[in-house]
Amino acid sequence: MIQKRVHIAALLLAALLFLLLYGYKIIDPSHIEWEMTGDNCFNFLGWHFFRTEAWHFPLGVINKYHYPSGTGVVFTSSIPLLAIPLKLFNDFLPKTFQYIGLWLLASYMLQGFFASLLLKKFSNDWRLILLGTTFFILAPIMFFRAWGHEALTGQWLILAALYLYFSPATTPTRIKYMLLILIATMVHFYLLAMVLAIWIAYLLKESLLGANKKYSAIYFLLTMIIVVCNMWVSGYFTIPVASAATSGFGYYSMNLLAPFNPAGAGDTTFFNKIKLATNGQYEGYNYLGVGVLLLMVMSLFKLPKAIKKCKLKATLVPLSLVMLALFVYSLSGKVTLGSKVLFEFKYPWLLQDLANILRASGRMFWPVYYTLMLTAMFIIIKYYKPKIALAILLIALLLQVIDLYPWYRSRNLEHRTFVSSLKSKDWQKIASGVKHIVMIPPIVKSDGQYNFALYAANNHLDINTGFVAREDLAKRAKYQQKLLTDFANNKLQEKTLYIVNKHYMIFPTAKNNSKHLFGRLDNYYIIVPSNLKLKLGNWFRVNHYNISKNTL
C-alpha cells in the first residue's frame, strides 16, 4: 500500500516536517506579525498594495507603492502566481490577508513530492525513497530562504525540472516543461533562470537522441515567446530592460568552501563558520550538511562501478555541461576560498551587464547542489545492497539533523511580533484628509518604513518609498532631486502627509505656514494640511542647508 502511495506519503512527511520546523501559526492568513520585520515584510506589503489597486494592464503593476514610479509584484517578491489570481477574490478576502505562510507549506510539500518522483526512478523501495526525500525537504538552502526571501523556497521547481530531464523525450514532456517554465516565471526570476538552464540541457539531450531539429527550434522559439509575454503580463517590464542590470556581481557570489562552510546562516553542530571574502557571500550559502557530505563520501567508493555500468552516459553530458556552467557562474569573476581571493577575471562587457541582472550569482549553484545530492543517493541506492543503503541513509539523516539542529531550534517564526509605532488616533484623522504619503528623504531605510507602508496600504494611500528588487534608476533619481528641491523651497503638495527625517530639521519653530501644520506626532516629524486642525507638539522649521547638502 505504501509502495503505491509513496508520493502521497512524501507530501504528508513534508507537511509534518514543515510544522515541526515552523509551527502552524504562520499558515493563518490573518497572522502578519511574523512578516513585518526584515526584507520579508515587503513580500506582504507588495501584495497588500496590489490587492486594492484598480486593475491595470500589465496585470502585475502596482502604482501606489514606490510612487510615483510604481513597481510590479515581481519586484516585491510577492509571487504573481498567487497574487494575481487572489486579487480576483479581493472583495471576499479579509482586510488583512497573507498567503506567504501557505506558500511555504506548499513549497515544502511540493519539494517532497518531486524529490520522491526523482528517487522513484532509481528505486522501488519506499523506505529508501522516503529517507532520501527527507534530505531534500530539510535542505539547508531551502530552510535559509524561508524567512526573508520566501519566494525562493520554490526550489521544488528545480527538482521538477530535473525530473522532466530524466523523463522520456516526448511531446507531453515538452508541454510539461513549458508549463513549468511559465510557473517559474510567475514565482521568481532566479528560479526561472535555473529552470531554463535545465530545460536547455534537456533540449541538448533531445538533440543527441536524434530529435527533429526543425521541430525543436519551433518549440524553443514558441516557448520563449510565451515566456516573454507572460513576463510582460506579470509586470517585469514596468522598468526598462537596462535597469534590470545593477551592481553586486562578484559581491554576492559563492565561496569555494560554501558546501562545507555554514557561514552566512545559523549555527551547526559539527563545523565552525569560516570567514567569507565579502559580506555579500551569504547569498552564496550552499552548505550541504554533514549527513549529505557523508552520502557523497560513501558514493565515491562505488563511483567507478557506477561510471562503468551507467547506461545514461551520453544523455548525462548536456546536464553535466550546464551544471559546470552554473558552478562557474556562481563563483562570479572573483574566485574566493574562505577570506582569500584566489584570482579574478573580467567578463566581456556585454556578459558583465547580463551577469548583473542575476547579480546574486551564489544562488545559481542550487541546481548543482541538488544534482550532487541526487547523484550521491542514486549511487548509494543503486550500487549498495538494499540493507546497507538503508543503513547509510539512516545514519546520514541522523547526522544531518544533529548537525542542523541548533539552527532549527533558533528559527521560530510564529513567535515574531510586530507592534506599530503609530499610536495616536490622529493618524486615522490624517488618513481621511490626505491622498499621498511622502517620506523626506525618499529612501527605503527610513524611520518607520514598515509602519507607514502598512498605514498607507490600509488606508488606500500612495507612498513614495518601497523596497523593490529593481527600479528605473534614472527616473527615480530625477524624482528624488525634484522632490528635495521643491521641499527646500517650501513647495509642498496638497493633500499630502510628509514624514521628515530629523536630520532635515532644526529647532525652534519659524513662522507658521497657513496651509500646513508642522510638528511631531508619535515622535515622527510630520507636515500635514492645516485644515485637519491637529494639535502637534515640538514645532520645527525646514533646515534648508541640510536639504541642499545631504545626498541620498
Mean pLDDT of 456-465: 94
C-alpha cell at 362: 551564489
345, 111 in Cβ contact below 8 A?
A: no
Type of residue found at 143: F
**Whole-number pLDDT of residue 511:** 46
463, 70 in Cβ contact below 8 A?
A: no
**Whole-number pLDDT of residue 327:** 97
Chain-centroid distance of CA 329 in Å reads: 19
Dmax (CA) for the chain in angstroms is 88
CB atoms within 10 A of CB 136: 26
Highest mean pLDDT among 242-246, 288-292, 410-414 belongs to: 288-292
Q: What is the torsional sign of CA 224, 229, 233, 237? A: positive
Q: What is the DSSP code string of 377-417?
A: HHHHHHHS-HHHHHHHHHHHHHHHHHHHHHHHHH--GGG--
**Whole-number pLDDT of residue 76:** 92
Residue 419 in 3-state DSSP?
coil
Among candidates 62, 45, 43, 44, which has minimal Cα distance to 53? 62
C-alpha cell at 329: 557562474
Phi, psi of 497 (to 5 degrees): -95, 120
pTM score = 0.93
Q: What angle do CA 60, 358, 18 make, to 5 degrees?
A: 70
CA distance 236 to 80: 11
pLDDT digits (tens, 9 = 90+) for 207-230: 888 888 889 899 999 999 999 999
Mean pLDDT of 424-434: 91
Mean pLDDT of 291-312: 90
CA distance 100 to 48: 12
**Whole-number pLDDT of residue 514:** 67
Question: Minimum mean pLDDT among 128-132, 141-145, 259-263, 475-479: which range?
Answer: 475-479
pLDDT digits (tens, 9 = 90+) for 502-526: 766 543 344 445 678 888 888 888 8
337, 228 in Cβ contact below 8 A?
A: no
Residue 445, pLDDT above cutoff 90: no
pLDDT digits (tens, 9 = 90+) for 395-408: 999 999 999 999 99
Residue 526 in 3-state DSSP?
strand
Residue 351, pLDDT above cutoff 90: no
CA distance 440 to 455: 17
CA distance 332 to 347: 9
**Whole-number pLDDT of residue 350:** 62
Residue 320, pLDDT above cutoff 70: yes
Q: Which helix (H) or strand (E) holds 463?
A: strand 462-463
99, 86 in Cβ contact below 8 A?
A: yes
Mean pLDDT of 243-248: 77
Instruction: Please indicate whether residue 15 or residue 352 has the higher confidence score (pLDDT).
Output: 15
- Quick one: pLDDT band at residue 378, thresholds 50, 70, 90? very high
Residue 151, pLDDT above cutoff 90: yes
Instruction: Please indicate whether residue 8 or residue 469 has the higher confidence score (pLDDT).
Output: 8
530, 517 in Cβ contact below 8 A?
A: yes
Residue 552 in 3-state DSSP?
coil
- Who contacts 450 (Cβ-Cβ below 8 Å, separation ≥6)? 36, 37, 41, 45, 418
Mean pLDDT of the chain: 89
Residue 411, pLDDT above cutoff 80: no
- Quick one: pLDDT band at residue 337, thresholds 50, 70, 90? very high
CA distance 536 to 74: 39
Question: Minimum mean pLDDT among 9-13, 121-125, 365-369: which range?
Answer: 121-125
DSSP secondary-structure letter at 54?
A: P
Q: What is the torsional sign of CA 422, 411, 158, 118? A: negative
Phi, psi of 154 (to 5 degrees): -75, 40
**Whole-number pLDDT of residue 507:** 39
pLDDT digits (tens, 9 = 90+) for 43-81: 899 999 999 999 988 999 999 999 998 999 999 999 999
Instruction: Please indicate whether residue 448 or residue 240 has the higher confidence score (pLDDT).
Output: 240
The answer to whether the bond into 508 is cis (omega within 30° of 0) is: yes
**Whole-number pLDDT of residue 447:** 54
DSSP secondary-structure letter at 551?
A: -
Residue 118, pLDDT above cutoff 90: yes
Mean pLDDT of 466-495: 86
**Whole-number pLDDT of residue 288:** 98
